[in-house]
Amino acid sequence: MTIPGNPYEVIKNSVLRYLLDGSFQKMYVEAWEGVGATALLREVAEAVEKSEKREFETVIKVVRPAPFGNRREMQRAVAEQLNHLLRSPWVTAAAFDAADEDDDFKGVEFSSRDLLSEVAEKIYRAVRDRSSSVLLVLCNKIADGKSIDPNDLGIPIIKGSRNALLWTSGMNISREGVRIQPSNEEAALDLVYKEAVEIARYIEESSGGSLRTTPQVVLRCFWYYLLLLHHRAEFNRSALLLPDGGRPLEAAVKYFVCDGILQGDDAASWEIGKALAPVIESIVNDRLLQFWEKKIPSSTWTPREEKKELLPRRLYWSTLLSHREIG
């Protein structure tokens, strides 16, 4: 089943309806140019939890805009969502810690760390023992560009089971999928904003609350990155973000902080920049740039719909560009 590209709310309502009436066991959501799918998955999961029709007794939400560093990191996130079902959750947590310590000692690359079979077995037993079905809502994306079979995590999504899967990976790789397609510029801006909300949430949650930012700050970094790509004739894109083992680069953070996009306490700004850079880099691409180049006047690169205040005011952009050398 494939639903052609439709606006966000249409897709969300369709996915929710199909999950609740059992029409499809697996549904894939394709983002629009890298944005929108994470928010849609979260909203659908929350709607399922609030639904009077309790089709799913357990909803496992592993939803984040950033890719996982490895397969084990994703498995840990799933296990943490099931702590209330696992018989000995502290033992499971200890197994992850011990495996990571052992890999540290052996020098195993972080990106190569694999699933723990004993944890997959515990997850499988916990899910199997439920009297009702389980819905797995999963951002199935790993830093190396790969995804993972949910069955390997210990959650059976197979014919005959009542479990279901709603997922995205940033790629269009499933036949049972729906595709988000904004109907106009306003809808596209809303998708970018929804992604910014998810990124801001992720920064806070992944740091244990020690780093806090707002969707508006995320948006400024997002648009500024696009601005730099817009001027890549004078600016070498490779100087902004280069592959570096999945780690955020000082170059990206430098532009966010030193050009005043991230403001406030210097130490906090640098840490927020380090967290933001790789997430924003993963969704910004030339296709997205080309879309906005058609919508934003090249003289100012400020959205025509200024009431949204997604970018600094026109005067600020002009001042910003005149006071820095690109290249």
30 beta partners: 179
pLDDT score recorded for residue 246 = 38
The CATH number for 2-180, chosen from 3.40.50, 1.10.3470, 3.30.230, 3.90.1200, is: 3.40.50
Give the phi and the psi of residue 167 in degrees, each rounded to 5: -150, 165
How, if at all, do strands 164-168 and 177-180 pair?
unpaired
Contacts with 226 (C-beta within 8 Å, 6 or more apart), sequence order: 284, 288, 289, 292
pLDDT score recorded for residue 298 = 53
pLDDT score recorded for residue 297 = 57
pLDDT score recorded for residue 97 = 96
How, if at all, do strands 26-30 and 177-180 pair?
parallel
pLDDT score recorded for residue 267 = 83
Contact 223, 311 (CB under 8 A): yes
Q: Where are the domains of the chain?
A: 2-180, 185-322
* Rounded (10°) CA dihedral 161, 180, 223, 66: 10
Q: Please give the DSSP secondary-structure letter assigned to residue 142.
A: B
pLDDT score recorded for residue 226 = 81
| Ramachandran class of 264: left when φ > 0, alpha when ψ lies in -120 to 50, beta otherwise | left
Return the amino acid letter for 135: L
Q: Which of 207, 178, 195 has the alpha carbon at shortest distance from 288?
A: 195
The 3-state DSSP class for residue 134 equals strand
- Separation in Å, CA 210 to CA 147, 151, 202, 206, 272: 29, 34, 12, 9, 10
Per-residue model confidence as pLDDT tens for the chain (327 residues): 555 568 899 999 999 999 998 888 899 998 998 899 999 999 999 999 998 777 898 999 999 999 999 999 999 999 999 888 777 888 899 999 999 999 999 999 999 999 999 999 999 988 887 767 899 999 998 887 778 888 899 998 888 888 999 999 865 555 567 889 888 888 888 899 999 999 999 999 999 999 999 998 898 888 888 877 776 644 444 444 444 443 334 566 777 887 788 877 778 888 898 888 888 888 887 788 788 777 765 544 444 444 444 444 433 444 444 433 333
Both tokens of residue 156? 């059976």
Strands (E), the chain: 2-6, 26-30, 56-62, 133-139, 164-168, 177-180
Contact 24, 18 (CB under 8 A): yes
